[in-house]
Amino acid sequence: MARSAVKKIGRQDPVSRAFGDRVRLMREQADLTLDQISKLSGVSRAMLSKVERGEKSPTIGVAKRIAHALGTSFSALVGDETVARRAFALVRKDQRQVFRDAETGFERILLSPVMAGLPVEVVLHHLPPKASTGKLPPYPAGVTKHVVATRGRVTVGIDNVETVLEEGDTLYFEADVEHWFENRSARPAEYYLVISAAQALSR
């Protein structure tokens, strides 16, 4: 039994391990139990436990639900928000924060710096053929998303209403409802997201 457990730990993905450690740290800092986070996020306690131990890599939908339950942003949960706010911040290509869904191949690449209080995020999404982000939880009121389709065809679902974006199309919407992104074609799809919390912060 002991040898089996050691082997299991050895196969852990270091990215999943780091993500799990951060989830556990932020949960403990918030003085919340796994059961409380489960109720707030809608993610099962068993799944949360596996995520914290680094045994399970969550989908982007699950990761975002955990972030919202912890009262933080997805980028802050995945990355490091210890950089002090300043007027100048350079992000080199090899320093970009990348989240990859192991099940679908979906990639979320944060292009803007991870800084506390930054009201705007610029993100690049890669969606493989026939892949979907799954339904994403609503953001707080006032958060908006601007989508720019740059490759392939992207279907955007917003509160059960779907819009198909061709290359070069753009879409702006208020993100305080459940939404998702899907590639139903046989070609890879790519799109940029500008996520703004400026209106939410001004309320």
String of DSSP letters for 27-92: HHHTT--HHHHHHHH---HHHHHHHHTTS-PPPHHHHHHHHHHTTS-HHHHHS---SPP-S-----
Task: Kindly state the average pLDDT of the residues 66-87.
Answer: 69
Q: How many CA atoms lie within 13 A of 187 on its CB side?
A: 9
pLDDT digits (tens, 9 = 90+) for 149-183: 999 999 999 998 999 999 999 999 999 999 999 99
Q: Per CATH, the architecture of 2-57 is what?
A: Orthogonal Bundle (1.10)
Dihedral (CA of 14, 8, 74, 162) sign: positive
84-141 pLDDT tens trace: 444 567 778 888 888 888 888 999 999 988 766 678 999 999 999 999 999 999 998 9
Encoded amino acid at 36, one letter: Q
146 has a pLDDT exceeding 50: yes
| Closest listed residue to residue 154, CA positions, set 195, 109, 192, 112 | 192
CATH of 93-202, one of 2.60.120.10, 3.30.200.20, 3.90.550.10, 2.130.10.10: 2.60.120.10
- For 192, list phi and psi in degrees, rounded to 5: -100, 145
Asked if domains 2-57 and 93-202 share a fold, the reply is no
d(CA 197, CA 200): 5
Segments making up each domain of the chain, as ranges = 2-57, 93-202
pTM of the model: 0.64
CB 194 within 8 A of CB 146: yes
